[in-house]
Amino acid sequence: MTSKRNIAATLGGWSARHRRAAILGWLFFVVLVVVLGSGSGQSSLANYQQLAGGSGQAEKILADARIGDPAVELVLVHSQRASKTAGSSLFHQAVATVLDEVGATGLVRQVESPYSDGLISGDGHYALVRFDMKPGDDGKVGTVMAAVSRAQAANAGFSLQETGDASGQQALNNTIGSNFARAEWTAVPLAIGILLVAFGAVVAALLPVLLALSAFVAALGLADLLSHVVALSSYSNSVMLLIGLAVGVDYSLFYLRRERQERAAGRSSQEALAVAAATSGRSVLVSGLVVISGMAGMLISGMTTFESLGIAAIVVVLVAMLASVTVLPAVLSWLGDRVERGRLRPPRRRGRVTRAATGGGVSGWVVSRVVARPKLSAVLAGVVLLGIAAPALSMHTESLSLTQLLPYNNPQAATARQIAAQFPGTPSPAQVVIKARDVRALDVRRAEASLEHAALSTGTLRQPLQLQVFPSAGVAELQAPLAGNGSDQASQRALILLRDKLVPVAFEHVPAARAYVDGDLAQSLDYNTALHQAALRAFAFVLVSAFVLMLLALRSLVLAAITIVLDALSVAVAYGVMTAVFQHGWGASLVGTHAVGAVESWIPLFLFAVLFGLSMDYHVFVTSRIREARDRGLTTSQAVSEGLRASAGVVTSAAIIMVAVFAVFATLSMQDFKQLGVGLAAAVLLDATVVRLVLLPSLLVMLGERSWYLPRWLSWARSARLAAEPVCEPSWAEGDKFLKVPARVAD
């Protein structure tokens, strides 16, 4: 009797019967969205849209008034000779050369001498030249840096180093660009190499990569179009490459590997494709929906950065998923056994295939021992995973500064660290943005003077204190270094005092005025506060939606609950690894970095949404194979053993590809890319080994038949179109002929 076909089987059947339409339609779609997307360009989020709290309000006031914060540049003058201090003639000459060379470019304004501003270090060996880039000339900062280099050449015995907003942003853009290119040119050949080992044939290895790349390119075009409705973050393209390549290759791999297994087991080409569509195709669909539901959690965060990243990730996963269940069956139907062309090794004999699928290799050895001693296996695996996750209890997040994001040896980052050491708080001062109908009114000016006096007398702010007034816009901006180094505990206490007491007291009698505290530290703290609130909503949504989808797919309340708990444990492992490496510096040198004292603020929530979905990949495919075996009448212990062994090869190959792609990002020089890559790679590696091979089977064996418990009031889940179906007798209507696949155990 033929079982009711699921959605994936229906899509695969149509695609295989209309392969020309499916393939040409896909190519037309890719070309169309790329052309339209390239023509429209991508609309990016404004700076204030990526912020939160009072600092976000301050930036919005400045943006609405079209007041752009000038790009502040700093030149650190350092005497390399003990005898040449700031009072010496040679030191004066070095400073004068910097002032002359920089001023001669015509690209700067408000060039300030350190002698008039008091920006001389305590030991007299450092001085700080401060100036602003003219509006619209930030992109020409290279000319100013060349002028500083000329000044350096004319002053032997002195070190003249420039850093600041414009030069730092240029360094950041250059680093991101080189990192993105490196990721593209490294990840793709790496994925092809892994697939060559997995399939042993050139065509079979290239097919998943080419399909994933076409899905990624199409998703980029769609994202460009969507950005004119919802602006996207500057990280969107990197996220789409990271997620799209890993997911796209994996989905095609699962589908293709199942089709090859069925073909090697003796089925005809069409029969094997029908089985792959009904089983792996369904699993791809479920996995894609789970990943998308995880990304959707970011859409309800209420924070525009996460909304834009969520949209970008959803688009690339959706396109990759649809490609795998539509155009891939058409390509496989067209290729037939030609997918084995370019074989690097002789194909395995059928007996060897069957043995490998049902118990050979390391996986079979591990599973047999786990099934024999499930309690001990569960305890050991749990201890290992909880131990790795433990550092997450002390995880500290913050919006990393330019100095922290750039490579440690980057000239701009190194200069910024020197400036912070000699002139604490100078690179990232606090700002108070004041909005009033008339900022020159007497009561507003009195409030500003009162705030300045209180801030300086309490040590909250330090000189130099600068006040800029924009009468036509009704805006005033007060700027000064905070106590401390600009980001430490002393600076945080000063910021809280300034925001919660000094500013409200100063402006309490000016009801028509609004005053907000801004600056790098204020933005970081505001972002973290908003993030904690957003995380609760996103976590709840992801957990509930993933549970419902797994319930529909697996038809077991217990199995769905176990899957959710294990995926949450994988996320905790990622948090623990990131905290240990990047916050505490344990093993940081192994990934070419150093401790920056914190995890980038946006990464934990983004990683939760992404990793929760990606972890489902393995659980969906593994538990689906276990479910198939159970539906054929095997006991739970037998089903676990057979399902794990049958899925071991494809899941291991998929995990290796994902870990390899993420590891490429872990080798990049940008700190946030590195943190994301390390967290994802570590979690997927442990999830595909310790969780999948040890913890999951040990729990199922201990629970026995209770693993399949489904209350009567949830019996409707059995008839859901996402529910797993037996591998026997999938059927497709092929023209006027109805193709029935004889019942046969595919494993």
Lowest-confidence pick of 127-136, 447-456, 546-555, 674-683 = 546-555
Q: What is the pLDDT of residue 736?
A: 35
- Would you state the pLDDT for residue 427? 61
Calculate the alpha carbon distances from 502 to 211, 447, 481, 506 in Å: 59, 10, 15, 6
Query: What letter would DSSP give residue 302?
Result: S
Please give the share of the chain, as a percent, with pLDDT higher than 70: 92
Q: Is the pLDDT of residue 472 over 90?
A: no
Q: Which amino acid is at 538?
A: A
Least confident of 90-99, 232-241, 698-707: 232-241
DSSP 531-593: HHHHHHHHHHHHHHHHHHHHHHHH--HHHHHHHHHHHHHHHHHHHHHHIIIIIS-TTGGGGT-
Tell me the pLDDT band of 728, cut-offs 50, 70 and 90.
very low
Task: Give how far Cα 560 sits from Cα of 53, 567, 707, Å.
Answer: 38, 11, 9
In this prediction, residue 581 has a pLDDT band, given cuts at 50, 70 and 90, of very high
- How far apart (Å, rounded) are the C-alpha atoms in residues 327 and 30? 12
Token readout for 49 is: 């849209």
Q: Would you place residue 5 in the very low, low, confident or very high pLDDT band (cuts 50, 70, 90)?
A: low
Which two three-digit tokens encode residue 71?
Answer: 């790009």
Cβ contacts of residue 29 below 8 Å, gap of 6+? Answer: 218
Q: What is the pLDDT of residues 694-717, one digit of tens each?
A: 998 999 899 888 888 888 777 766
Predicted pLDDT at 734: 41
Phi/psi at 308 (5° precision): -70, -40
Q: pLDDT at residue 721 above 60?
A: no
Q: How many Å apart are CA 325 and CA 259, to the nearest integer?
A: 13
pLDDT at 359 over 80: no
Q: What is the distance between the alpha carbons of residues 319 and 323, in angstroms, rounded to a whole number?
A: 6
Half-sphere exposure of 227 (CA within 13 A, CB side): 27
Q: Confirm if 587 and 581 have CB atoms less than 8 A apart.
A: yes
Non-local CB neighbours of 284 within 8 Å, separated by 6+ positions: 8, 251, 254, 255, 321, 324, 325
**Nearest-CA neighbor of 648 among 383, 370, 374, 378?**
370
CA–CA distances in Å: residue 406 to residues 85, 113, 174, 334, 692 = 31, 28, 10, 48, 36
Mean predicted confidence (pLDDT) in 257-282: 81
Using one digit for the tens of pLDDT, what is the confidence trace for 270-298? 888 888 888 778 878 877 887 888 788 88
> Is the Cα dihedral 91, 93, 96, 100 positive or negative?
negative
Place of tokens 């660009």: 177
- For the whole model, what pTM was predicted? 0.79
Per-residue pLDDT of 31-66, as tens digits, reads: 999 999 988 888 888 777 888 888 889 889 988 888
Instruction: Determine the residue type at 332.
Output: L
pLDDT band at residue 348 under the 50/70/90 scheme:
low
pLDDT tier at 538 (50, 70, 90 boundaries)? Answer: confident
Question: Residue range 676-694: average pLDDT?
Answer: 90
pLDDT in tens, 18-35: 889 999 999 999 999 999
pLDDT in tens, 103-133: 999 999 888 889 987 889 888 899 999 998 9
- 399 and 523 Cβ atoms separated by less than 8 Å: yes
Question: Which residue(s) pair with 468 in the sheet?
Answer: 477
Q: 167: Cβ–Cβ under 8 A, 6 or more apart, which residues?
A: 73, 141, 144, 145, 412
Task: Give the Å distances, CA to CA, from 76 to 95, 413, 460.
Answer: 10, 13, 25
What DSSP line would sit under 682-703, residue for residue?
HHHHHIIIIIIIIIHHHHHHHH
Residue range 130-150: mean pLDDT, rounded: 90
**CB contact at 8 A, 132 and 71:** yes
Among residues 467, 460, 424, which one has the least CA distance to residue 445?
A: 467
Mean pLDDT, rounded, for 440-457: 90
What three-state secondary structure class fits 249? Answer: helix
pLDDT averaged over the chain? 83
